[in-house]
Structure 1
């Protein structure tokens, strides 16, 4: 035991000697926080700030100072110093012992809480970590580093750049500690850069003759490596690739103070990550030259880089580690104003997003809870052509992914199915196009090369689709072959409901409308605003046979569709009995007076709920297209994300809701954020399905962000989330079994 204690004490001493204090270093600045120089202190030195009164007025000096000298000067009060023949009165000296702590002092404030990152800011240096000039970035900016090879030399430049111009990110949450470690120094003779040392003293209380010395010390990196657990870097914007005119060895962004001390080609933090897993960005070339779309395998072991959470909440079913999706246009062929990916996770972990269109990717970290990432909205598909416009996402921990697309306000949202939920057969739903400018669409994205796709068309009577010089009508088949990450979108001013998608390998399928109103208006010129509808469609193999469609707040009625996945499907709808004769056959019903609906069938069906067009003082506006989860897809716990969209104007307010469907004898076991559902403002409606009684709990969700909805007994239940303002809406199932 004594030997162990000795070893630990030795290691502690070694680690403490491995870190140098990083301080701001300036002379004659108007405030300490406006200093743009840094230095690293030797042993027995601390950071200091001096308030100086001279012919220039009140100014401030900062840097490193011997601890005992700083303490003595701090307790002395007013000190007169003579520097380069100029008399200065030091009216305040303050000492501190943490990195960059002397950005404040002597009554002056430090760096503001709401700010952009502090970044290294040097041009044409051989070693980025040797940069001793900093710059303060705007809140819209991140740190940036570039490396070019010129005449055999590696030359670095560092500074700030707008986040939307970044094509790759590195996560270095402990940058300051790393720099301090590399710059550890021990001076044989005490040197006090930009500070005051008493050489001769006539009166230690009032007058000090001072010599100021500026030094530059060469620092070497220690040989040890640090094992780092990454922390979040906040919102990441993935933009279109900006291709460099010249070859560069590195062109990289990062978020966090002084994180741009190196490219991903080396250094303790990055090397540790590279040795542990393939999370780091390729060091052999600039990001735009990377040719392999896979950044890492979801099977990779990265357990040393993640910190599992201890909480009991464990989302299953539609949680996964790999996702593939694509995005469509919005009203009148416009892109969304904003595309937001919302990840929920029970663990800290890592995330990689790949955009094959321009071979761009991004690596970042995620934390337990909800994580928001914004994508460049100009990645939308064009109809009836092959494109490389999918978005491939992989993580090393299970996450649930929701998409929110904004145009003016929250325009559409949906649950993204992970790759283990994908399959080879789908039945889709769309709505009728309400004018000639806003088509319905069916989008397919391929996970593997050589994926053969067949679309067996179900389109409105007398409508046709022109593709590759051929005209296709209802019942015809369009065949395409896609390679990995390629996309294809059927798009036409028709209704594709009931179209069957077959593929030779698993694919992602999304369907909806770029914009529409429900029902289709007689005169589209009188429509004030139309709604984008998008849902990611579950495969036929995961469809169910028993459904309860919940009532919707803020809507007096809604339509719903029942679509057959197999021929000769018999369906019971309330007290009606229908037969859907063919694969893709469907019927549309209307629920009046806000009543919930029960449905059962002898074969799996797809059920879609569509809120009826809402009347408003601005004329008409549409709602949403909501996939109804079957009872077979119910789970016992969910992570609900309530959006906080901007207001369209002062007269509007977006209201968000959840509807919970559970067996009536399980109602008292439903908890929301750890509290029973009836502690919130809610209402309850009873529905019979076969021999069971169900309850539909409807609640308005006033608090944006992540909410956990669970069953204390572990009994499965269903849940959808939805919301409306006067003109737009969204809705989707929060989770499914697959």
Structure 2
């Protein structure tokens, strides 16, 4: 099964086949149905980026209960030859602590890849972050939140079915209280919510929500981030990431260097022991259920994380660092053998990180050519168990980028940096579901 062709910023098309004990499913984040919500942010509009190999009809629909003029501005059926950019009005952004019919459903006849940007014009605004959207078939009923900012963190939930009962086990830093429907909630409190199909609910606090647990009786989509992550100019840059379900997390990670990140945040749904390797030094640390564990990182450090159970790993750039963003780090069981991305224009610096077994690195092909030595900005080898992995950081201006290997799966992340803004995302963060 091969998926190719792309012609839009941030579009990713993946090629791989995935077969689980439950049967076959599309590789990575390819799918035919996606549930999207747009969290409240500073941008005047947002975008859905769609890429496909085979020409297909894509239907964008909203709830019948959405305000009619807003619904008519979003609902559409469009023919996508290879890629499309669907611009969403600001009014579809969720409001805080309100049950709203603001979920967006994207359906297609052929497998597609979908990304969401919280700003539809990064070439002008440079206030943008992007996340890969998880297909509905790979959503689940249990999630853990990873955020970062202690002053503007937020997260939101959308239901794919009627009568979805959701239990939110809140983790709120600094003993901050939030008010929901006239009641006060603090750290360790539980909030119960019922949503129907395409209904959404967004939370916000002047605190960090990391460690908040979400459990539901039916699959839901969960998005997290910050309203405003401070950049190098002191201005705001939204951070956006869809949370993968706990059932799709991984246990071994290679965190690439040169991505401008300052902190690697580990979140675990249960107590776990992790091994953290930096260079020749390895230490064992205990991380606790729903308690953030942060690993400081410097620019040229490569970090290997091995956990006894599945965890969520995110990298964060913040404060005086140019290019603030939050991005999920893919585990090695989430690697694929082929990626096709379009590196966004307007970012003077764009890096592509490739993490592959060293013995297979010479089989890598970039845009149908072997990766030339002068194109490699940074290269390092690390050991994961007894297997050597090579990390290549390739500087790539912008435009279409295809990276593939013959047989060996590899990880891929993309990072773009402007003077005061940036975006970062992984090619895939979904593991095959083990039944």
- Fold agreement, TM-score > 0.5: yes
- Say whether residues 1:393 and 2:106 are aligned partners: yes
Partner of 2:168: 455
- Deviation of the 1:449 alpha carbon: 0.1
Aligned partner (choices 358, 372, 395) of residue 700 of structure 1: 395
Partner of 1:664: 358
- Any idea what SS the aligned residue of 1:387 has? coil
Partner of 1:573: 276
CA offsets per residue over residues 592-613 of structure 1, 9 Å max, x none?
A: 2421100000010000111243
Instruction: Name whichever structure is richer in strand by fraction.
Output: 2
- Deviation of the 1:312 alpha carbon: 8.3
Q: 1:517–1:622: 8 Å Cα contact kept in structure 2? A: no
Cα distance in 2 between the residues matched to 1:420 and 1:444: 16
Change (3 A) 1:322 1:644: same
Cα distance in 2 between the residues matched to 1:431 and 1:401: 25
CA offsets per residue over residues 202-229 of structure 1, 9 Å max, x none?
A: xxxxxxxxxxxxxxxxxxxxxxxxxxxx
Partner of 2:93: 380
Q: 2:348–2:397: 8 Å Cα contact kept in structure 1? A: no
- Deviation of the 1:716 alpha carbon: 0.7
Cα distance in 2 between the residues matched to 1:313 and 1:542: 17
CA offsets per residue over residues 122-177 of structure 1, 9 Å max, x none?
A: xxxxxxxxxxxxxxxxxxxxxxxxxxxxxxxxxxxxxxxxxxxxxxxxxxxxxxxx
Cα distance in 1 between the residues matched to 2:343 and 2:112: 17
Q: 2:118–2:238: 8 Å Cα contact kept in structure 1? A: no
Aligned partner (choices 386, 405, 427) of residue 734 of structure 1: 427
Q: 1:433–1:513: 8 Å Cα contact kept in structure 2? A: no
- Any idea what SS the aligned residue of 1:448 has? coil
Cα distance in 2 between the residues matched to 1:702 and 1:403: 22
Cα distance in 1 between the residues matched to 2:47 and 2:343: 13
RMSD: 2.2
Partner of 1:364: 78
CA offsets per residue over residues 524-562 of structure 1, 9 Å max, x none?
A: xx9621221100110000101000010124x3x520111
Cα distance in 1 between the residues matched to 2:214 and 2:16: 36
Q: 2:258–2:299: 8 Å Cα contact kept in structure 1? A: no
Aligned partner (choices 130, 149, 164) of residue 413 of structure 1: 130
Aligned residues: 396
Partner of 2:386: 691
- Deviation of the 1:637 alpha carbon: 1.1
Partner of 2:146: 429
Partner of 2:345: 644
- Deviation of the 1:708 alpha carbon: 2.1
Cα distance in 2 between the residues matched to 1:688 and 1:402: 32
- Say whether residues 1:476 and 2:176 are aligned partners: no
Cα distance in 2 between the residues matched to 1:654 and 1:639: 20
Cα distance in 2 between the residues matched to 1:393 and 1:489: 20
Cα distance in 2 between the residues matched to 1:715 and 1:313: 11
Q: Which runs of 4+ in 1 moved over 4 A?
A: 311-315
Partner of 1:587: 293
The within-5 A match list for 1:224-235 is none
- Any idea what SS the aligned residue of 2:333 has? helix
The within-5 A match list for 1:534-545 is 534-545=240-251
Cα distance in 1 between the residues matched to 2:15 and 2:200: 39
- Any idea what SS the aligned residue of 2:94 has? coil
Q: 1:558–1:594: 8 Å Cα contact kept in structure 2? A: no
Q: 2:38–2:118: 8 Å Cα contact kept in structure 1? A: no
Cα distance in 1 between the residues matched to 2:349 and 2:118: 16
Partner of 1:19: none
- Any idea what SS the aligned residue of 2:340 has? strand
Aligned partner (choices 262, 287, 291) of residue 558 of structure 1: 262
Cα distance in 2 between the residues matched to 1:642 and 1:377: 25
- Say whether residues 1:547 and 2:241 are aligned partners: no
- Deviation of the 1:687 alpha carbon: 1.6
Change (3 A) 1:312 1:381: closer
Cα distance in 2 between the residues matched to 1:667 and 1:416: 29
- Any idea what SS the aligned residue of 2:216 has? strand
Change (3 A) 1:470 1:586: same
Q: 2:55–2:81: 8 Å Cα contact kept in structure 1? A: yes
Partner of 1:349: 56
Partner of 2:305: 599
Q: 2:375–2:394: 8 Å Cα contact kept in structure 1? A: yes
Partner of 1:15: none
- Deviation of the 1:404 alpha carbon: 2.4
- Say whether residues 1:627 and 2:341 are aligned partners: no
Cα distance in 1 between the residues matched to 2:420 and 2:264: 20
Change (3 A) 1:614 1:671: farther
Q: 1:681–1:700: 8 Å Cα contact kept in structure 2? A: yes
Cα distance in 1 between the residues matched to 2:170 and 2:295: 22
- Deviation of the 1:624 alpha carbon: 0.8
Aligned partner (choices 521, 531, 541) of residue 237 of structure 2: 531
- Any idea what SS the aligned residue of 1:386 has? coil
Cα distance in 1 between the residues matched to 2:158 and 2:368: 39
Q: 2:33–2:107: 8 Å Cα contact kept in structure 1? A: yes
Change (3 A) 1:494 1:527: farther
Structure with bigger RCO (C-alpha 8 Å, 6+ apart): 2
Q: 2:379–2:390: 8 Å Cα contact kept in structure 1? A: yes
- Any idea what SS the aligned residue of 1:490 has? strand
CA offsets per residue over residues 264-323 of structure 1, 9 Å max, x none?
A: xxxxxxxxxxxxxxxxxxxxxxxxxxxxxxxxxxxxxxxxxxxxxxx9888822100000
Larger Rg belongs to = 1
- Any idea what SS the aligned residue of 2:325 has? coil
Change (3 A) 1:449 1:695: same
Change (3 A) 1:680 1:374: farther
Cα distance in 2 between the residues matched to 1:535 and 1:654: 23
Cα distance in 2 between the residues matched to 1:690 and 1:385: 48
- Say whether residues 1:321 and 2:32 are aligned partners: yes
CA offsets per residue over residues 230-276 of structure 1, 9 Å max, x none?
A: xxxx99xxxxxxxxxxxxxxxxxxxxxxxxxxxxxxxxxxxxxxxxx
TM-score normalised by the chain length of structure 2: 0.86
